[in-house]
Copies of this chain bind each other. A is one copy, B any other.
Amino acid sequence: MLAFEKSGGLIPAIAQDADTGDVLMMAWMDKEAFEETLSSGRAVYFSRSRKRLWRKGEESGNVQLVESIYIDCDADTVLLKVRQIGGAACHEGYKSCFFRKVEGEELKVIGERIFDPASVYSAKKIS
């Protein structure tokens, strides 16, 4: 169903809020992550930094319930429509990881912070 081999086993996966249409984040999936996402109904990614499956929300509890899944024309990108438990997809506490807007040479924070990361995560950054 997906062309994992084209990109060395990992393909981009975009998570979009099923209600508002906001793009929440982009992460990576290997075949195992994609299959577990399908079978569990929760978004599972592959963490490139930790080199292992990343069950989104495994520490914070802020899982993503998958409403529907779409595949692009080249079968090398996935779009998930999700319900984000806790309201924030970003490990920095924002609803969307795309909380900064390019304005000229500057980045302006336009997102609303839903939680304080320090209150949710242990010392090791994880989401």
Q: Count chain A residues whose beta carbon lies closer than 8 angstroms to a beta carbon of B.
A: 32
Interchain residue pairs with CB less than 8 A apart (17): A12-B26, A16-B23, A20-B21, A21-B21, A26-B77, A38-B102, A68-B102, A69-B101, A70-B98, A70-B99, A70-B101, A70-B102, A71-B98, A71-B107, A72-B98, A73-B90, A73-B94
Q: Contacts A98-B79, A102-B1; is A72 near B22 (CB within 8 Å)?
A: no
Contacts of A14 in B (CB 8 A): 14, 23, 26
Task: Provide the bound-state CA to CA distance between A38 and B1, in Å.
Answer: 35
Looking at A20, A71, A73, A94, the one whose CB has the most chain B CB atoms below 10 A away is: A73
Please tell me how many copies of the chain the complex holds.
2
Task: Provide the bound-state CA to CA distance between A20 and B23, in Å.
Answer: 12
- Which residues of A approach B to under 8 Å, CB–CB? 1, 12, 14, 16, 20-23, 25-26, 38, 68-74, 77, 79, 90-92, 94, 97-102, 107, 110
Task: Provide the bound-state CA to CA distance between A78 and B20, in Å.
Answer: 19
Task: Provide the bound-state CA to CA distance between A77 and B20, in Å.
Answer: 20
